[in-house]
Amino acid sequence: MSEDLQESVKPQLPENVRVRFCPSPTGTPHVGMVRTALFNWAEARHTGGTLVFRIEDTDAQRDSEESYNQIIDALTWLGIDWDEGINVGGPDGPYRQSERGQIYADVAQKLLDAGYAYESFSTPEEIAARNEAAGRPKEFGYDGYDRNLTEEQKEAFRAEGRKPALRIKMPDEDIKFNDLIRGEIEFKAGSVPDYVIVRPNGDPLYTLTNPVDDAMMNINVVLRGEDLLSSTPRQIVLYRYLMELGVSKEMPLFGHMPYVMGEGHKKLSKRDPESNLFLHRENGFIKEGLLNYLALLGWSISPDNDIFSMEEMIKAFDVRNVKANPAHFDLDKAISINAEHIRILEPRDFLNRSVPYLFREGLVSAKVWEDLTPREREILTAAAPLVQTRVRLLGEVPGMVGSLLSTDEYLEPEADAHKQIKESAPAVLDAAIAALEAVDEADWTTDNLHETLNKALVEDGGYKPRLAFGPVRVALSGRRVSPPLFESMEVVGKPVSIARLKNLRAHVDEILAAKAAK
């Protein structure tokens, strides 16, 4: 195969674009799969075309109903909708390959009758032995041995109890096509051997089912991963035969999207944690942030803008602008982009999306906003502006607001918070308690608390702000990083705030002793 990545004239898209997303239900949905769905969806929406969603589930050993349902769940959560296919219907169903067996059998028979396919009785062991005898590597591949078997030879194999596979005859010519992403690509004659489309037991293979489905569903733009590029000459040849047989109307355009690379610049595997879509959701990615980042894996909206909405992506997207070079999945950048999208949520939307994460951690009484207690809603409404600009993932919200929701009068400091407990902490806490006890509950407001503590600790006490407010923050939240201190104290209220300061004071000598002993 030779591949020219120089600037070349890429094909024009059809007038009525029809793309498809056709995953196999094996394992948990992964980011590479979603990137494929996203680019197909964006192309369909940009052109006013049609997205067909079907399931390739002919591998009974690996396919599962659980994975099928997870794929539906993933697309629904992300807002990637489709026009024809699973749960929607359309003129070309059924849309699960496991329900299309007779269609494949009929097409295979037509290919055989027309001489485009032939019966192949060779076993893998026989193919390897012939390669070795001819001085080729055993793994060289199929040698075309069965192409010209006589009827007598075929009958002899059948008499042995052998059943034939069906293979497609590859022409002795170069196969060229103009890739929507990569430009002109050429596979030299003889580089792709005759390939199996139906196993000896009658089961159709992906090499048959995928192109047949595309042909019968009138798919005219095939956007898929770079890993499938080597199979494209097979599909092109099969399409020629299907067009001759009247099964297909036209040859589709192909576009092969770049690999998504993980750590160490290796192809991102389904087994890599950063590949797991639902793990990202559990950690608190929102759909806007995750889709925005996945869109950047091979495409960009403009050189100086990484943050955009799906509406903006649809308006700008053209698959011909996707880069051919591998894309690297950078979790830190993904989280950073997610943080930007969290910040622009409406406050109530932010709260609605955060509640399930708070419920999961046992901090609130219900999974949805409407079922929370009045106290929970009041505190979270006050907390939203304090934390929304400080979290990057919704999974961080519980840690930020847990101290505000809690009525506990002592919060055990997290290990990381011990760094804020310096030798001056006992005196700081004593001074803070004395100053705050003198504040009226009616004056327990953010501005007054700031003024009171700043005077007592910084101006009068002479402490630097970090030493002055660090122990107070730890007392109120149990954490080194928390929502803004004085706003938090107002939300928590005077009785609990004072109690937490006193209880940390009671433990602070013990904490300092433990630090000194290390």
Size (the chain), residues? 518
Per the residue annotation, which of 169, 270, 287, 502 is the catalytic one?
Answer: 270
DSSP secondary structure code for residue 143 in this structure? -
Q: What is the DSSP annotation of 248-312?
A: -SSPPEEEEEPPEE-GGGPBPPTTSGGGBHHHHHHHT--HHHHHHHHHTSS--SBTTB----HHH
- Sequence-separated (6 or more) residues with CB below 8 Å from residue 158: none
Q: Is the peptide bond before 484 cis (omega within 30 degrees of 0)?
A: no
Residue 422 counted as an annotated binding residue: no
Kind and range of the H or E run holding 177:
strand 175-179
- Crossing angle (nearest 10°) for helices 331-343 and 287-295: 130
Helix (H, G, I), strand (E, B) or coil at 509: helix
**What is the chain's Cα-based Rg?**
32
CA distance 207 to 124: 18
CB 165 within 8 A of CB 199: yes
Q: Which of 25, 109, 114, 115 is nearest to 75 (CA)?
A: 25
CB 330 within 8 A of CB 263: no
Per residue, the 3-state secondary structure of 458-487, as one string, reads: HHCCCCCHHHHHHHHHHHHHCCCCCCCHHH
DSSP secondary structure code for residue 400 in this structure? H
Decide: residue 509, CB within 10 A, 0-12 exposed, 13-18 middle, 19+ buried: exposed
Kind and range of the H or E run holding 411:
none
CA distance 188 to 175: 6
Helix (H, G, I), strand (E, B) or coil at 195: strand
CB 117 within 8 A of CB 111: yes
83: its two tokens = 């026009």
Q: Is 270 a catalytic residue?
A: yes
CA distance 301 to 42: 12
- Sequence-separated (6 or more) residues with CB below 8 Å from residue 413: 421, 474, 478, 479, 504, 511
Q: Which of 166, 269, 187, 197 is nearest to 232 (CA)?
A: 187
Active-site residue list: 270
Known binding-site positions for ATP: 270
Known binding-site positions: 270
